[in-house]
Amino acid sequence: MKTKELMALILLTVLSVNSIAQESDKRFGFELSGGASFATQKLGGADLNTGLGFEGIFHYRFMPHLGVYAGWGWNKFAADKSSIGADLDFEETGYLVGLQFKHPIGSSPMSYYVRAGGLYNHIEVENDEGDIIHDTGHGFGWQLAGGIDIPLGKNWSLTPGVKFNALSRDLDEDGVSTALDLNYLSVRVGILKKF
């Protein structure tokens, strides 16, 4: 009788270990992405040129298709002229946190993802020499994103996608307040390492 119980216990252990080992999608990940940004409206009266930005974010999947992400991002837009001066750069930097839904596309190894999150960012205004001449201070905004996860090999993926950021801040200069509504669409390509 003891031999049968021992064999059943060994069989259950082997099956349990095998099923855990077959879960190839890791729970944690770190992603670096970058690309072009396109303002969807004027910023405080300034026409913004095509911008450039990048993000670094950590992922944690707590359900089969749902997880959280958090990280830091930077975007830079140039303006030839604005109400506060000529040849200025507007840099948006700060933190992001949100939820990510990721699901396989049919039976392929690729997945699609959608993200919705909040921002805690600020806008710095720099002159043509790179000196910060104004800073809005940090405030809350939001972000929506989506894309495709393309596996490259063991725990590595390429993550092309698009995102939309919206941030409203006030710039106070000599008692005059200017509303800066920075809304832009970004086309990004990222690399994701799962661990």
Rg of the Cα trace of the chain?
Answer: 23
- Residue 129: phi, psi to the nearest 5? -95, 0
- b/e 162-173 (16+ beta carbons within 10 angstroms → b): ebebebebebee
Helical H runs in the chain? 2-21
Strands (E), 105-127: 111-126
* Angle at CA of residue 122, ends 50 and 113, nearest 5°: 65
pLDDT, tens digit (0-9, with 9 covering 90-100), for 105-156: 999 999 999 999 999 999 999 988 888 998 999 999 999 999 999 999 889 9
For domain 24-194, the CATH architecture is: Beta Barrel (2.40)
pTM of the model: 0.82
Q: What pLDDT is recorded for position 108?
A: 92
